[in-house]
Amino acid sequence: MRYLRLLRLQLRTALLLALQYRLDFLVKALLSLAWVSVALVPLVVLFHQRDDIAGWRWPEALLVVGFFSLLKGVLDGAIRPSLQEVVERIRTGAFDFLLLKPADAQFLVSTARFELWNFADCCAGLTLIGYGLAHSGHRPTLGGVLLALALVGASLLILYSIWIIVVGLAFVAVKVDNLTYLFGSIYEAARWPASVFRGVLAFIFTFVIPLVVMTSFPALALLDRLGPRQALGAVAGAFVFAAVARALWLRSVRFYTSAGG
């Protein structure tokens, strides 16, 4: 209960801060929407030439992009800013103040900063999902929707865990900013339907950095095309990822030596 109250407090602070610079907020929200539109252009041109790509039709590919934007909104709005803030605090030693607070360090680290204008991406994602679903001619079942929601939750958990692992590295290596950009660019590959990747890449993007799971699985779930084994595997994998991340986090914090030593 206490943690929910803390979360609400952090969100409110972030909102107040964001609204202080209203023009900035608007410009950045519009920019993130511009990115979503721009990224759709290759897909539009592609489907202009072909009716389907590796078994995915236009509305179905839109679903994948929709889930991608939804996850990206949360990633850029909540996960990335907090963890970048933390890396900076580790570097300057201000992390001490965070450790001194009477709440779990990982929670405080994860809610350190929000960039609320990036949630415009979430709205764009939901719009794309709605549009894709409407045009796919498929009526989603309740089971499908619930499964898709569960998979989105699992995907967020995986993304969050990967980031925590990266931040854990910051205790040892300090300058991990570049890793955050690297991850951001690799994540862009999740925009495309799973069957585009074959061979080694398909393996990497399913089991090592499960991008394919994050965006294509929810889309398949909504279309009622996802097998129960795959869905269960994805959710179980997410929990395993989270457990590993938590364990690594607890170990990494012990490596923290403040700026003074």
Partner 1 sequence: MSVAVAVWWPLRLARLLAALLRVGLAQALAYRSEFIVWLLTTNMPLVMMLLWTTVAKDAPVGRFGQAQFGAYFLLTMAVRLLTGSWVVWEMTMEIRQGTLARRLLRPVHPFLAYCAEQAAAVPLRLLIVLPLLVVMVGWLGTGQLSREPLHWCLLPLALAGAWALLLSLMLLIGALALYWDSAISLFELWLALYFVLSGYTIPLELFPAGLRAVVTWLPFRFVLSFPVELALGLPSVGAALAALAVQWLYVLALFVAALTVFQRGLRRYAVFGG
Residues that bind partner 1 (CB under 8 A): 24, 27-28, 31, 34-35, 38-39, 41-42, 45-46, 48-50, 53-54, 178-179, 181-182, 184-186, 188-189, 192, 195-198, 201
CA angle, corner 171, sides to 167 and 177, nearest 5?
50
The CA R_g of the chain, rounded to the nearest whole Å, is: 19
**Which of 59/144 has CB closer to partner 1?**
59
Q: Least distance in Å: CB of 38 to partner 1?
A: 5
**Which of 36/74 has CB closer to partner 1?**
36
**Which of 180/230 has CB closer to partner 1?**
180
Q: Least distance in Å: CB of 104 to partner 1?
A: 31
**Which of 205/241 has CB closer to partner 1?**
205
Please give the Cα distance from 106 to 186 (Å, whole number).
25
**Which of 113/238 has CB closer to partner 1?**
113
CA angle, corner 78, sides to 175 and 233, nearest 5?
95
Phi, psi of 231 (to 5 degrees): -60, -45
Please give the Cα distance from 237 to 107 (Å, whole number).
22
CA 86 to chain centroid: 18
Residue 243, C-beta contacts closer than 8 angstroms, at least 6 positions apart: none
**Which of 45/142 has CB closer to partner 1?**
45
Residue 84, C-beta contacts closer than 8 angstroms, at least 6 positions apart: 113, 177, 180
Q: Least distance in Å: CB of 96 to partner 1?
A: 24
Paired tokens of 95? 């992390």
Q: Is 106 helix (H, G, I), strand (E, B) or coil?
A: helix
Residue type, 63: L
Q: Least distance in Å: CB of 216 to partner 1?
A: 14
Residue 157 CB burial class (10 angstroms; 0-12, 13-18, ≥19): middle
Please give the Cα distance from 204 to 202 (Å, whole number).
6
The DSSP 8-state label assigned to residue 94 in this structure reads T
Q: Least distance in Å: CB of 71 to partner 1?
A: 17
Q: Least distance in Å: CB of 39 to partner 1?
A: 7
**Which of 37/257 has CB closer to partner 1?**
37
Place of tokens 């690594």: 248
